[in-house]
Structure formats: C-alpha cells, structure tokens
Homo-oligomer: A and B are copies of this chain.
C-alpha cells in the first residue's frame, strides 16, 4: 500500500500539524531540506559531503520520501555519467518558515530539554514519587 492515506480529520483540526511532522519525522529529512534550501538545486554527491555522517543509501531513502511527499523535485539530466539534482517544491519552500520557527524554539529550549532528560534519568534510579516502577525508560 505504498504510503498510507493521511487521515486529515482524525484529530482536532489543529492536529493537521501531524501531517507536517510526518513529512519531516525521519532522521535526516529536515537536514536535507535545510541543506537544499541553503544551496539551491543540489546533487546527491554534494549533499553527501555537505551533510556528513549520512550514507548514500540513507540519503537516497530520505530523498525518495521527500519526493514522495512533494517537498523536493527530482531532476534527472540525460547524460553520462549520470547526473541528477534535487530542488525544493513550492510546498517545500513554504515549509521553511515553520521549520525555522521550530529551530528558534530549539535554540531557546535546548538546555531545558537536556536538563529535563538528565533529571528524568536521575529520578529513574532513585525511588519514584507517585507510582510507576523501574523500567519506564524512553530512549528519546
């Protein structure tokens, strides 16, 4: 069933936001979008070096998802050796502002998040107030 249908009315109307989070939910998606935004139409090999720490296969997976969701356009040149580049669609471009808003939040609250994580870990070892036993440790 390649790509489950989005249930746009599953939740409160506000939660249409979930669609936005889904199209960027995966590990590298937002990074790829930001990188293409920063440099314009870009070839995979260039993305590979500019991003760093991502394998060709995983980058390709990400590009395929982004293309599937209509955030990037794939443009193949009929040449040899093979040449392709990826650019942002209108939808992809429009997503940049909200993404930057998320980035601003992260800049402001990154420490709070890290602190909360440490406090959570700390609480976890010691006895827990309320209830809850010892094995409720989310990985992220």
Task: Please report A residues at the B interface, Cβ cutoff 8 Å.
Answer: 1-4, 6, 8, 10-12, 14-26, 30-31, 34-35, 38, 51, 53, 61, 64-65, 67-70, 74, 76, 78, 82, 84, 89-91, 94-95, 97-110, 112-117, 120-121, 124, 129-131, 136-140
A98 touches B104 (CB 8 A): yes
B34 touches A14 (CB 8 A): yes
Which partner residue on chain B sits nearest A8 by CB separation?
B110
B68 touches A120 (CB 8 A): yes
Residues of B within 8 A of A140 (CB): 3-4, 22-23, 25, 65, 68-69
A113 touches B91 (CB 8 A): yes
- Can you add 19 more A-B contacts, CB < 8 Å, to A68-B120, A94-B105? A1-B139, A2-B121, A3-B117, A3-B121, A4-B139, A12-B38, A14-B103, A15-B30, A16-B103, A16-B106, A20-B102, A23-B140, A25-B26, A67-B120, A68-B140, A69-B117, A76-B130, A76-B131, A89-B116
